Structure 1
Amino acid sequence: MRSTTHKAASNDIFACLQSDTPDWDFLHAHRLLNVFTSVANIQEKVDGNTPSTLRHYVNAIETGIRLSPPLSSGTTLTFRDIILASWFASLAFSTLPPSPEPNNILDAIQDRASTNHLPHFDDTSLALVHAVHHASDGFIHAMLDPITGTLPNVVLFPDQAQMLSVVVFASPHTTSDVWAALHSGQSTYEVKTATSSALLTLARRIQEGALIADLGLDIPHCSSDALVLLLHYLALSLFPSASAFNDTGVVLCGMSSNAASNTPRVACGRDVARLYYEKGLQIDPTHPHLLSNFGSLLKDAGHNTCAVGVFNYALQLHPELDIALVNMANTLKDMGRPADAIPYYLKAVTINAGLVDAYCGLSMSMNAVCNWTARAQHSADHWLTNTIVICEENLSELHRQNIGILGERSVDDWLLNVALTTSRPQCDHSLRRWVHRFYLFTDVSDGRQPLLNEGSFLIRLIDWYRTRMQHRRYVETYGETLYSEEASYSQPRAAPTAKLFGFVLSSASLQKVPTVLPFHTFTLPLPSRTIRRIAHRNALRVSHNIMTQISPDRVPLLPRPPWKRRINVGYVSSDFSDHPLSHLMKSVFQLHDQDRFCVFLYATSPSDGSVFRQYFEHGDFNFLDVSSWSSVDIVNRIEEDHIHILVDLGGYTRGARNEIFAARPSPVQISLMGYAGTLAASWCDYLVCDSITCPVDLFARVQAYRKQSLNYCCQHSDFGVPHTYFVTDHKQSYRHGENLSVEERAQMPAEKLWNDEIKCRTDLRRALFPDLPFSCQNIFATWLRILARVPCSILWLLRFPTAGEAYLIQTAKEWAGDEITSRIRFTDVAEKDYHIYRCRVPDLFLDTSEVEIDCILSSVLWAGTPIIACTWPSHRHKMSSRVAASLASATGFGEYMVVSSRDEYEERAVALGNSMCYTVQPNGDGEISGDLLDLRRRLFLNRDTMPLFDTERWTRNLEKAYRMAWKRWVDGSMFRMSDDGCIWVKDDIDVPIRMD
């Protein structure tokens, strides 16, 4: 009843303004405006973002508009007029200089507007809002972005935004007493601040999920993100406060990279956001959120030292500012200083116990420095437990987005677009399933489902639609042609396309992502469904971003059938540089069968000048530096190159450009090497893995095919290669230890090779540990028990980060005593070549349980050092926790190194360690023997023939999978649920083992 009373009262007040009553007191106008805003705020608390609530904010804004003299008797300006006029003015600003005024838009205004009202930006007496009021609907269509089909996001510089209200609200009736009052005096200040506040509040409501349709604007093709930005511009121009500049900067930072701007360099709002922060700080140099956000922007741009300086200044002024504390801690953590970050995180959670970012960062930093006592679930502070709980709550909250947008169209409209994906009528069973899906969102007879995220469903639907439409066009143009002898083809025939996806998606707010990032899930004890949902939320955000740049109704261009059986394979990475990924994959691209594959490399990061980058730039393949290109330009280039299979080497790692893949420039898209886990993205068709790292029953289609539970891990299909998914390049790149080629080494007597290795290893051990006579929390306890059970053994750890050493020593003393602790040794990080050289020093390398450093493991095995790897039943759903077992198995000696439980892990390590026997010869020399040394000998002598280091064999097997994937796409079996969707490759080559 309360909300009904509010609605009636506000409508009565608003009716007074619309009536032909005598002039009312302008000096008190701001009070009436504040009434509407207050009523809206109260109703929002009671009813939420209902249409009537939003209309109260609109009424408040329109109150200010009605201070302007009417155009003619009975004509009143509306909120819609202001929005459209502001959009036009923003577009005009964004194209000046040097572009002329957008004549096509002016022509549309002239359809019905008097020429006296046409805007000229050198004339402050223009009547833009009046001209727009009389313009036809063609005016809106003239402003649409030709790529996205929506009213565009427009990037304005601060001085341009400040001029917006002057241009929009200026009137030729300058002699009017009322209008004159609007430009002077205290009453003007009050009206402007009140109107600005109403605009910002309305923008926040839209950001929180309110539908644009509920505003009653009747502006088609209006996206929520673009409208929110425009409302901020208007608010700032009316009242340019420090807070307004801050809020506008925040919106710009969250924008996708597609926007109209007056400079080609401005690819995203972040560049311009800095100008807004700086402008705001000129008004108020002590503004807490401006300082914090400005520092975050500097951090994201890679200026960490400057960011720390800004945060320090902010915290001197506002020592209790929780968000600045978290931002400072995040920056220090990213700079490799987790120990310095911890005090800031601790203070932040003390001030604000509900700060999600602080708990997550604190848990990660505690783990980085091995401070497990404070991180543990049973500790007094239980940061880890809080992080996990907050993560689950965060995911649940993200479902409450974009409720109601699918209901803007009927079920029949949606079914019509689904039908476009096939040239054949749908069967009754398929039709019923689609009807059921859409009724979940559009049927409100029993009340709306509050936890259905319609925006995410719509994005997945668009991805599904585009892949099917691309395949349909291919088949209709080329038939089921796998390969062709024709060098050129005519353009594909146009097929019917959807028209409503862009219209409906424009109403959806940008998909939000959880605080816990996908990469964080490697070290958090989360169930498989939670890990997948975190990745999936990030995938949705990526898809939504690119759909604001490329129309969601657009069907990707078709590649021509592979000419002369050569499939075009594109690899996209930000790591074509001196990076572990390049170290491991360096030879793969050159080893591709040039008669069957044409290789393209797209580098999304600039050159680091390293020998690795130079190798790629001058290699015998198509290399292109696209680091300065927009995502849209990269997508267009990939389509122009007719890429059949596109490979993502980044995943959710730093520097990845996943928007490229979300645009679907290639029929088949694959995730390989860069990210050891599921992307949970509809734009990733396959994950390259093996049977150890990714058990087949964890894949979605396998579970659906076998009618098992939905608690799956991987949303895409399995792309299983034999032996191991992990590729190495040691056989080609790291032979300088012996300075022997593969052929020379094969001819060398085994005893000579082995004796030389023993001498080299002994000398290196003495150099590293001259004082020795002739070494995550649960795993550390296991290591300490192994130390206790293997006499005279030492535990050799990397000093990284440095702060972790003290915590490990303290923990070891508490758990195992001083004698065991004295046998723990630390050394610093080494250069790559020396690191590989010294990997021969340890007798046994112990695997970790959470995240394995796979590039280090491969170097250890190349040196001949055995490892103990575990398939960890508790981590069966984590690919990153099973890589070591995969690598060990690919040596051919996995039965000696791979175990299946923690108890077996400890027993195997103790047995191998105690097998070592040192025998003194009569001449005083010593001789070491035992099972561990025998295993080392086998690994060392067979490294040139074992699958793990046979890069050429690995590449050939990958090529088999590529050909199978292309065939499945062409014949359509990739889209049918008649099988589990997996591709498994068999190795045709036997593995020779040298036992001498």
Structure 2
Amino acid sequence: MNPDQLLHSAVNAHRNGRLPEAETQYRQLLSMQPRHADALHLLGILCHQSRRHQEAVSLIERALAITPRNPDFHNNLGLALQACGRIDDAISHFNRGLDISPEDTDLLGNLASACHAAGQLQEAISSYKKLLHINPQDQDTIAALSHALQALGNQQQQHGHYAAAEKAYQEAIAIEPQNAALHYNLGNAQRELGKPAEAAASYQRSIELSPHDADSHNNLGNVLRELRQLEQAMACYQRALELNPALYHAKVHLVHQKQHACDWQDIEKDILQIREWVSTTPQAQISPFAFLAMPETTAAEQKQCAMNWTSNRYAKLMHEPSLVQKGVTRRIGPGNKLRIAYLSGDFRLHPLASLVTEMLELHDRARLEVYAYSYAINDQTPERQRLEQAVDHFVDILPLSMHEAAQNIHADQIDLLVDLTGYTQGSRTGILALRPAPIQAAWLGFPGTMGAPFIDYIISDAFITPPEQAAHYSEQLALLPHAYQPNDRHRPVAAAPSRNEYGLPNNSFVFCCFNQSFKIVPQVFASWMRILQAIPESILWLLECNSIAKANLQQEAQRQGIDPARLVFAQRIPMDQHLARHKLADLFLDTAPYNAHTTASDALWMGLPLVTCSGNTFASRVAGSLLQAVGLNELITRNLTDYEALAIKLANDPVLLGTYKQHLQAPSQTALFDTAGFTREIEALYFKLQALPLLQAS
């Protein structure tokens, strides 16, 4: 046969699946004409089909050397290269083919698929859109574009680009509106963006499309909780658990919200189960914050819970190369200030601002350069504006991914990074996992150990974290000489109101507790009821956190023989008015095992004595620390029997109670409210930490 006949016969055999015959004839032709480009190309395709991909690459490259502007050659070489794992080279040839034939649908489809596989999702999406422009009804391309957009959303979500993720999911939903997973992922992005109402709508649509997806019910519960729709949130968690009883975090959310609602039915049994999970099921997602609020949990269990959480959430980030070497700081000398940075999602109208703002203003600028890295939404409040002015460099990292934020901190050559958020809502602990600073410390935001090898120190005091309890903290203890808590003495206080304005009887002894309702546990509430029983002309003034808790507490009071009318509930009001109304109360009754924290210092600042019961965990010892710092150690008890007896004694002894009130008439003269002195103490601690060698995490 002549060359043309041989080519025709080989192609016919190839098309009909007789590959050995076709290969023999292609090779006969090439022995006659070694530079026959079509034969080289077609034999290359046959080798690719026979999984001899490297041979296919070699053959098609020879064909392209002869005919370099053939788009089919570039397309099939790209496929062979991709099969060899050389995806970047494959993409290059698909693009070169498209330079020659811009609307070649095979090239566009293969380029889109290769870019998708390589994680080059923007390029993949662009190619899919070009394909749809050519053939708008191609269902395979529509599905592929939606899949790529979803993958882009997932990628952006993973890297903390939540606005970009939201956009990608919305675009995918426009193509596939019946895809439940897209609505679920959109809800996740919207929640991260601080859009709980929009997130709730997305989760609800996901549930409409996929009613039996437990995760959607759980996440809907999360945003309804943030929207203060407590009853609906608990119903969502309950439904999630009905669908998937092994959804551990839904159980934790449900129990924690029952605490907010003061719904104590079966709560001891539920908490026992969660404690068991902490010790036996490390992969369970048990929120450390919710766990430390649960009665009976020990410091050792809280450490284990935090370590499990860290391992589950941040293992991948911890295995990435650290941005800086642990403990190696810049040499601090003349003209070279110590660079301190505070990281927080609460630089806004938040209790944190009432603690740290004056301290930030008072930092010694001759020795320190102070940074604040904020991922809080700018609420445009005076508190936010004051915080921005209180530091040398206020950096808004809210739009940045965790990696970008960590790179920024690293680039600023921070010596000591202090995390003020911990494992509370919206935290971005992953930034610290990337080790952007050589020394990293936890302070104020989370009252417990982080269980994280990338947190070197926990800043506290010897009352809250006695050295003999160091084993219960993964961090090294960094102890201040007085209380661990700073305070802002410049917060405005409204004019003193009357009791009538708040529905308080003029002639009653007013016990109060303005702690959040989740801190009220059955044992403490029973103690309060016995105190009211012992002091007949007394009332208990509580913060109304939600209507369910109010109703449950009133019902429980009735059950324990106390007229529910003796429980008076305070509405949430602006901070200056809230501070002023403390003067209407006679004695603050603390909660245990989760004490009043900022709430306690508010009371003491306003001259209101507080009785606390200290336990063995961080959260259970904060109020005791504050009382010690104002010189009122005698108001610290160690068990509920003594707590109850002391409250009754003070209510019956106005002279003794009056001496404590008198003691608090000049709070600025105490260590707790000596903000300038506190600032010097914490600065001394920072310089000490900068000079100390760090121990390796055990």
Q: TM-score, normalised by structure 2?
A: 0.78
Matched, 1:520 2:520: no
Q: AA paired with 1:764?
A: S
Task: Measure the CA separation in 1 of the matches of 2:435 and 2:420.
Answer: 16
Structure 1 unaligned blocks of 5 or more: 1-19, 27-67, 86-108, 143-160, 171-195, 200-221, 259-266, 378-382, 399-513, 700-711, 738-759, 917-929, 982-996
Name the counterpart of 1:782: 527
Give yes or no for contact 1:129–1:168 (8 Å, CA) kept in 2: no
Q: Describe the superposition over 1:821-865 as per-residue Cα deviations: whole angstroms up to 9, x where unpaired.
A: 331111211210011111122111111113334111111001111
Deviations along 1:229-270, whole A, 9 cap, x unmatched?
Answer: 9999999x9966879957983795376755xxxxxxxx6377
Which residue matches 2:623? 884
Give the letter aligned to residue 694 of structure 2: M
Quote the offset at 1:394 in angstroms.
3.8
In the alignment, structure 2 segments of 5+ residues that lack a partner are 1-12, 20-40, 93-104, 132-138, 511-520
Matches within 5 A, 1:831-870: 831-870=574-613
SS at match of 2:340: strand
Instruction: Give 3-state SS (helix, strand or coil) of 1:588's partner.
Output: helix
TM-superposed deviation, 1:552:
5.1
Residue aligning to 2:678: 954
8 Å contact kept, 1:118–1:131: no
Q: How far did residue 592 of structure 1 move?
A: 1.8
Per the alignment, in what secondary structure is the counterpart of residue 583 of structure 2? coil
Q: Give 1:136 shift.
A: 7.8
Letter in 2 for 1:882: R
Q: Residue 279 of structure 2 contacts residue 304 of structure 2 at CA under 8 Å; is this kept in 1? A: no
Are residues 813 and 696 of structure 1, via their aligned partners in 2, closer, same or farther at CA, if it must alter by over 3 Å?
Answer: same
Paired residues for 1:211-222 under 5 Å: none
Q: Which residue of 2 aligns with 1:625?
A: 396
What's the CA shift for 1:771?
4.2
Pair 1:613–1:139, CA change in 2 (3 A): same
Q: CA deviation at 1:727?
A: 0.9
Do structure 1's residue 325 and structure 2's residue 217 form an aligned pair?
yes
Matched residue, 1:974: 694
Residue of structure 2 equivalent to 1:965 = 689
**Structure 1 counterpart of 2:487, one-letter code:** T
State whether residues 153 and 169 of structure 2, in contact with CA within 8 Å, keep that contact through their aligned partners in structure 1: no
Deviates more, 1:626-635 or 1:603-612: 626-635
Deviation (angstroms), 1:76: 5.7
**Separation in 2, partners of 1:967, 1:821:** 58
Give 1:880 deviation, angstroms: 1.6
After superposition, what is the alpha-carbon deviation per residue over 1:602-640, rounded to whole angstroms, capped at 9, x for unaligned? Answer: 233353222222223334623333333444444344334
Structure 1 pair 624/954, CA: closer, same or farther in 2 (3 Å)?
A: same
Q: CA deviation at 1:719?
A: 0.4
The 1-side partners of 2:565 and 2:106 are apart by 67
Identify which of 482, 506, 526 aligns with 1:723.
482
- In the superposition, relative to structure 1, how do residues 319 and 646 fare at CA in structure 2: closer, same or farther (>3 Å)? closer
Residue identity (%): 23
Summarize the alignment of residues 536-575 of structure 1 with structure 2, pairs less than 5 Å apart. Answer: 536-540=307-311, 543-544=314-315, 546=317, 551=321, 560-564=330-334, 566-575=337-346
SS of the aligned residue for 1:372 comes to coil
- Paired position in structure 2 for 1:910: 648
2:77 to 124, 127, 137: 127
Distance 2:524 2:553 in 1: 12
* Aligned counterpart, 1:361: 253
Q: How far did 1:809 drift?
A: 0.9
Deviations 1:649-691 (A, max 9, x none): 1222234333332232322221121221111222211110011
Q: Provide, for residues 13-68 of structure 1, a one-character-per-residue CA deviation record: whole Å limited to 9, x for no partner.
A: xxxxxxx9997699xxxxxxxxxxxxxxxxxxxxxxxxxxxxxxxxxxxxxxxxx9
Distance change >3 Å, CA 343–CA 240, structure 1 → 2: farther
CA contact (8 A) 2:184 2:216 kept: yes
Pick which of 310-319 and 799-808 moved more: 310-319
Aligned counterpart for 2:306 among listed residues 519, 531, 535: 535
User: After superposition, what is the alpha-carbon deviation per residue over 1:326-352, rounded to whole angstroms, capped at 9, x for unaligned?
Assistant: 232222112122122222333333343
SS of the counterpart of 1:373?
A: coil
CA–CA distance in 2 between the matches of 1:119 and 1:544? 49
Deviations 1:361-420 (A, max 9, x none): 21122111111124342xxxxx4444444454541xx3xxxxxxxxxxxxxxxxxxxxxx
Q: How does 1:420-569 map to 2 (within 5 A)?
A: 514-524=284-294, 525-540=296-311, 543-544=314-315, 546=317, 551=321, 560-564=330-334, 566-569=337-340
The answer as to 2:231 corresponding to 1:339 is yes
SS of structure 2 residue aligned to 1:822: helix
Name the structure 2 match of 1:495: none
Change (3 A) 1:281 1:937: same
The CA distance in 2 between the partners of 1:336 and 1:634, in whole Å, is: 31
Q: Describe the superposition over 1:272-299 as per-residue Cα deviations: whole angstroms up to 9, x where unpaired.
A: 465356535744x444444444334333
Q: Do 1:253 and 1:269's aligned partners in 2 also have CA atoms closer than 8 Å?
A: no
1:407-463 deviations in Å (ceiling 9; x for gaps): xxxxxxxxxxxxxxxxxxxxxxxxxxxxxxxxxxxxxxxxxxxxxxxxxxxxxxxxx
Closer, same or farther in 2 for the Cα pair 1:585/1:112, shift >3 Å?
A: farther
Q: Does 1:167 align with 2:111?
A: yes
Matched residues in 1 for 2:318 and 2:49: separation?
A: 37
Tell me if structure 2 keeps the 8 A contact 1:680–1:714: yes
**Residues of 2 paired with 1:945 and 1:166: CA distance?**
75
Matched residue of 2:669: which SS? Answer: coil
Name the structure with the higher helix share. Answer: 2
Output aligned runs, 1:573-592, within 5 Å.
573-592=344-363
1:836 and 1:863 in contact (8 A); partners too: yes
Question: Residue 664 of structure 2 aligns to a residue in which SS?
Answer: helix
**Aligned residue identity for 1:515:** Q
| 2:378 corresponds to which of 607, 612, 637 | 607
- Residue 635 of structure 2 is matched in structure 1 by 897
Q: Which amino acid aligns with 1:807?
A: N
RMSD: 4.5
Say if 2:15 is the partner of 1:71: no
Kept in 2, the 8 Å contact 1:111–1:136? The answer is: no
For 2:553, give the aligned amino acid: L
Q: How does 1:55-134 map to 2 (within 5 A)?
A: 71=44, 125=75, 127-132=77-82
Q: Which AA in structure 2 matches 1:935?
A: Y
Distance 1:520 1:966 in 2: 33
Measured in 1, the distance between the counterparts of 2:186 and 2:588 equals 45
Amino acid at match of 2:657: L
Q: Judging changes above 3 Å, is the alpha-carbon distance between structure 1 residues 903 and 289 closer, same or farther for their aligned structure 2 residues? A: same
Match of 1:773 in 2: 507
CA gap 1:318/1:639 in 2 versus in 1, 3 angstroms: closer
* SS of corresponding position for 1:665: coil
Matched letter for residue 886 of structure 1: S
Give the Å deviation of 1:883.
0.8
1:676 aligns with 2:400: no
How many residue pairs end up in the alignment?
A: 628
The 1:591/1:719 distance shift into structure 2, 3 A limit, reads same
Pairing of 1:236-385 with structure 2 (within 5 A): 249=150, 252-253=153-154, 268=161, 271-272=164-165, 275-276=168-169, 278-279=171-172, 282-283=175-176, 285-316=177-208, 319-377=211-269, 383-385=270-272
Contact residue 522 and residue 880 of structure 1 kept, 8 A:
yes
Cα distance change, pair 958–908 in 1 and its aligned pair in 2 (3 A): same
Distance 2:293 2:53 in 1: 50
SS in structure 1 at match of 2:573: coil
Quick one: distance in 2 between partners of 1:121 and 1:375? 69
Match of 2:662 in 1: 937
Per the TM alignment, residue 769 of structure 1 is displaced from its structure 2 partner at its CA by 3.2
Tell me the distance in 2 between the aligned counterparts of 1:79 and 1:291.
43
Equivalent residues of 1:128, 1:168 under 8 A apart: no
Q: Secondary structure at the match of 1:294?
A: helix
Deviation per CA, 1:177-227: give whole Å up to 9, x if none: xxxxxxxxxxxxxxxxxxx9xx9xxxxxxxxxxxxxxxxxxxxxx9xxx79
Alignment of 1:45-56 (within 5 A): none
8 A contact 2:346–2:352 mirrored in 1: yes
Change (3 A) 1:965 1:291: closer
Offset of 1:80 from its aligned partner?
9.5
